[in-house]
Structure 1
Amino acid sequence: MKVVDSDYRAPWWATSPHLQTALASSPLRVRRGQRELVKLGAANEEHVLDAGGGVRLHGVHTHLPGQASRGLALLLHGWEGSAESGYMRLTAARLLAAGFEVFRLNFRDHGPSHHLNEEVFHSCRLDEVVGAAKQVAARWPTRPMVAAGYSLGGNFALRLALAAPDAGLPLVHVAAVCPALDPERTTQAMEQGFPLYQTYFRRKWARSLRRKRELFPERHDFDEAGFKRDLRGMTAWMIDKGGYDFRSVDDYFDGYRISRERLSDMRVPADILTAADDPVIPVEDFHALELPDSAQVEIATHGGHCAFLTDARLHGYAEEWVAARLSAALQHCA
């Protein structure tokens, strides 16, 4: 594993990680991403994929009509994000401009997909993401396949890379932006840090679970009191309610932890971008990673969580970085 300093430099007004992180989720970036896709003439087609075991996942295939594709990029969003999040649209636009076609996958219960499966989403559902990725590769089989993810999506992208060779998934490279490495430490950072983060994710998680309860009342009877707990308490409550099939919170967290040695056998090359001031993913965890020589970690001094803003118009370095790293990977594979 190689650890290097990132080329990203934050504007003088954007050295606060909390400001960066908040602005990165601004509706302005969602709208900008849509405008950029329209300006490129992108065609979008929704798909429901058979992910195996009766599981169905939703996603959006995006391409430029009349343009030959140099590669197929699978994009994975963060927890309680979606295929239409600002960073997903903006990254898709950068990849299209670089000659890729893109599939933006929604995890179970994200985007408009709550009705597709009775059981709820949790972060250990890697098998269905592998199954969906294989379906994507089969539908567009003539292109080299790469993947990228943000936050929890970065965690999934790296686990996808670890699983790909044995699963028969033709993945040649992955890029991960601020991937969640150790769920225990991330949960602690959100509960003990700036209150905005826990409030934000707890509210969005509760909204998702209410939607699930509305769709499948015979299966889910989540009570409102459970939604008022902290994040670890809500996770324990979900295990107790039978929504998560784990013995304990620690057992669940360990199921998708990728810190330290968990990725040491990864055979698909990977690039990772993170920030030393990320308020929810401790940078120390990246220095402790045990990765193969084909992996590189880039650490920026500033950038917040998945933000890396470059100007007052809220352009982002991360989406440019993803397109550049995946483009370089295809050149290396050629």
Structure 2
Amino acid sequence: MSLPRGKDFLPPWPLRSGHLQTMLSSSGVRRLMLPRAAQVVQDGAEPVLVNGGDGVRLTGAYTAQKAIPQSRGLAVLFHGWEGSVDSTYVLQTGSRLLADGWDIFRLNFRDHGDSHHLNEALFHSCRIDEVVYALVDIAQRYPTRPMALAGFSLGGNFALRAAMRAPALGLPLSYALAVCPIIDPREGLFSLEEAAPWFYQAYFMHKWRRSLQAKQAAFPHRDYFELSELKQNLRGLTASLVARHTDFGSLEAYLDGYSVAGRALESLHVPATILTARDDPVIPVDAFEKLDLPANVELDIAAYGGHCGFIRGWDMTSFTDEYIAARFNAIVAD
């Protein structure tokens, strides 16, 4: 079976800008222009409260397929930082896989979506244990086989780390796919501050501060941050998060805590694919080129696509829908 490759993505000239691809990927304009078929995963979706272990509760949404007599399997989707189960890219991918006969589970990370009130402690990127335990709970609730996982940006990073832990926990994960995942958080954080245009950091900081305000409103007895700390830049507020709300001794130790750079993925035994774009302005391609990967992990670097964009044309649909669906379907074909 011939699978789509990153080199196959060649958008029309105006969409060959990595910045335009990135800005459009999560824009409200894109959601308005999307065809109805790209959002059908929301129809009849069942809200679910998932067990993340140690009293942690996460939210999600489950949609059973009706396209074919028997489901191909269960597809679990992870959003990016400050995204949610209703992020445009999650809805698009979920709707495409649903049409191909996959049951869909979209998982919210802690403090994402409308879940700030569920857990008193703040979200941070090293909370991989609760995500893996949530996957175990999901697999037990919906024992459709095979189970495949796809994540975007920070969600891609979580997907790769979850896949590494899956065999030890008996999690029946057949495949994982990460789109533009964070590889080296140190390099990514510095790049967002120093190399990327200012509006990327402004965008993420606006969303993060809004999320922290929602958290404070949900737990008014807690003092999560001082006002002066909330006014800091990305590095400063992340350092405050580490000092106040984690057991890591430094910002660097925290960033290393969720890094999958270098040889970190050598212990990944679940078949996996990493798709990224050379023109991604948020996550430098250098980190991908330095990866030391086992034979079962495919690295695919496209020339275009920006950060989680891969938008094909003015209908705002994404090449990643076809890309992910083809690889998920190949699991069944094999």
Is the TM-score greater than 0.5?
A: yes
Distance 1:66 1:315, change over 3 A: closer
Q: Where does residue 106 of structure 2 map in the other structure? A: 104
Q: Where does residue 92 of structure 1 map in the other structure? A: 94
Q: 2:283 aligned with 1:281, yes or no?
A: yes
Q: Where does residue 211 of structure 1 map in the other structure? A: 214
Q: Where does residue 312 of structure 2 map in the other structure? A: 310
- Partner Cα distance (1:244, 1:34) in 2: 42
Give the secondary-structure state (helix, strand or coil) at the position aligned to 1:207: helix
What amino acid maps onto 2:311 in structure 1?
Answer: L
What amino acid maps onto 1:95 in structure 2?
Answer: L
Give the secondary-structure state (helix, strand or coil) at the position aligned to 2:117: helix
What amino acid maps onto 2:168 in structure 1?
Answer: D
- Partner Cα distance (1:311, 1:154) in 2: 24
Match of 1:150 among 130, 149, 152: 152
CA contact (8 A) 1:42 1:63 kept: no
% same residue? 48
- Partner Cα distance (1:186, 1:146) in 2: 27
Unaligned ranges ≥5, structure 2? none
Cα distance, 1:313 vs structure 2: 1.6
Q: Where does residue 59 of structure 1 map in the other structure? A: 60
Cα distance, 1:326 vs structure 2: 1.2
CA contact (8 A) 1:174 1:270 kept: yes
Distance 1:66 1:185, change over 3 A: closer
Cα distance, 1:219 vs structure 2: 2.4
- Partner Cα distance (1:40, 1:103) in 2: 10
Cα distance, 1:143 vs structure 2: 2.1
Cα distance, 1:41 vs structure 2: 8.8
Q: Pairwise mapping of residues 233-252 of structure 1 onto structure 2 (< 5 A)?
A: 233-240=236-243, 242-252=244-254
Give the TM-score normalised by the residue count of structure 1.
Answer: 0.94
CA contact (8 A) 1:29 1:87 kept: no
Between 283-292 and 117-126, the greater mean CA deviation after superposition: 283-292
- Partner Cα distance (1:323, 1:103) in 2: 15
CA contact (8 A) 1:33 1:93 kept: no
Between 22-31 and 157-166, the greater mean CA deviation after superposition: 22-31
Between 59-68 and 85-94, the greater mean CA deviation after superposition: 59-68
Offset from partner CA, 1:156-179 (integer Å, 9 cap, x none) = 000111010001100000111001
Give the secondary-structure state (helix, strand or coil) at the position aligned to 1:259: coil
What amino acid maps onto 1:226 in structure 2?
Answer: E
CA RMSD across the alignment: 1.7
CA contact (8 A) 1:30 1:87 kept: no
Cα distance, 1:65 vs structure 2: 4.1
- Partner Cα distance (1:174, 1:79) in 2: 18
- Partner Cα distance (1:38, 1:278) in 2: 25
CA contact (8 A) 1:83 1:105 kept: yes
- Partner Cα distance (1:250, 1:181) in 2: 14
Give the secondary-structure state (helix, strand or coil) at the position aligned to 1:211: helix
Q: Pairwise mapping of residues 18-37 of structure 1 onto structure 2 (< 5 A)?
A: 18-31=19-32, 35-36=36-37
Q: Pairwise mapping of residues 1-334 of structure 1 onto structure 2 (< 5 A)?
A: 6-31=7-32, 35-36=36-37, 42-65=43-66, 67=68, 68-192=70-194, 193-240=196-243, 242-332=244-334
Give the secondary-structure state (helix, strand or coil) at the position aligned to 1:78: coil
CA contact (8 A) 2:15 2:21 kept: yes
- When the two structures are aligned, how many residues end up with a matched partner? 328
Distance 1:40 1:204, change over 3 A: closer
What amino acid maps onto 2:59 in structure 1?
Answer: H
Cα distance, 1:133 vs structure 2: 0.4
Cα distance, 1:30 vs structure 2: 3.3
Distance 1:87 1:39, change over 3 A: closer
Offset from partner CA, 1:200-237 (integer Å, 9 cap, x none) = 11111111111111111222342222122111111111
CA contact (8 A) 1:202 1:227 kept: no
Cα distance, 1:34 vs structure 2: 8.4
Give the secondary-structure state (helix, strand or coil) at the position aligned to 1:6: helix
